[in-house]
Copies of this chain bind each other. A is one copy, B any other.
Amino acid sequence: MTTAQPHTPDDVSRAIEATLFASEQPLTADQIALHLGLGESGGDGVRATLAELERDYEPRGIRLVQRGGRWHFETAPDLAHLLRREKEELRRLSRAATEVLAIVAYHEPVSRAEIEAIRGVQTAKGTLDVLLEAGWVRVAGRREVPGRPVIYATTPAFLDHFGLASRRELPGIDELRAAGLLDPVDEDMIGAGLGAPRSGNEKPGFLAIEDDPD
């Protein structure tokens, strides 16, 4: 296998490498520049060096990756079988939780009513709580419509966990968007009678039939 010739590490590159290696959290290029005392303008130089380092590590068992603008080292994914720790296996999310997570990620920001409109069922409060607790979903404010429903979005930890540089890397997001499947859930698009029980405080017009006299 031939690989690109790794560049000879210079001082800045070595310092960036060491900083990221030692850090307990992922760091942005600007944070690295600040830490290294490169000043406000140092971010760009750091970014260029990070790109070089990323290439250097490409063939190795350790990777330098960027998630939501923050960089960290992690093991190469193809070595998962060697490293997987049975004991620490993540608790599996329920089907409902994974669906809600996907809906939040692909549609963010979304309200609970919108999530329920897509899934056609009420979402147990616990389901969102699990995602909030996992640190993958956060409350992103309220939508300025009647009832001011809380809206949800994903977090940097979500990108970290699923190995996404940004939400643009969500699998198939471009196709889904092109097919109009990520359009805002429009009340008019959804006929009555699709039977999702209405959720508590938000009152979307398109969910319930029983209280929609026609």
Evaluate contact between B61 and A14: CB separation under 8 angstroms.
yes
A25 interface contact, C-beta 8 A: no
A166 interface contact, C-beta 8 A: no
Number of A interface residues in the complex (CB < 8 A): 29
With a CB–CB cut-off of 8 A, which chain B residues contact A9?
Answer: 59-61
Distance A9 CA – B9 CA, assembled complex (angstroms): 18
Interface string of A1-33 (1 = CB under 8 A from B): 111001011000111111101100000000000
Evaluate contact between B62 and A17: CB separation under 8 angstroms.
yes
Evaluate contact between B59 and A18: CB separation under 8 angstroms.
no
With a CB–CB cut-off of 8 A, which chain B residues contact A19?
Answer: 61, 82-83
Evaluate contact between B18 and A79: CB separation under 8 angstroms.
yes
Provide the main secondary structure of the chain A interface: mixed
Say how many copies of this protein the assembly contains. 2
Evaluate contact between B35 and A75: CB separation under 8 angstroms.
no
Central interface residue in A15, A61, A82, by most chain B CB within 10 Å: A61
With a CB–CB cut-off of 8 A, which chain B residues contact A22?
Answer: 75, 82-83
A83 and chain B: residue at smallest CB distance:
B22
Give A24 Cβ to nearest chain B Cβ, in Å: 11
A190 interface contact, C-beta 8 A: no
Interface string of A70-113 (1 = CB under 8 A from B): 00010110010011010000000000000000000000000000
Distance A75 CA – B8 CA, assembled complex (angstroms): 17
Give residues in A with beta carbon < 8 Å to B: 1-3, 6, 8-9, 13-19, 21-22, 35-37, 59-62, 73, 75-76, 79, 82-83, 85
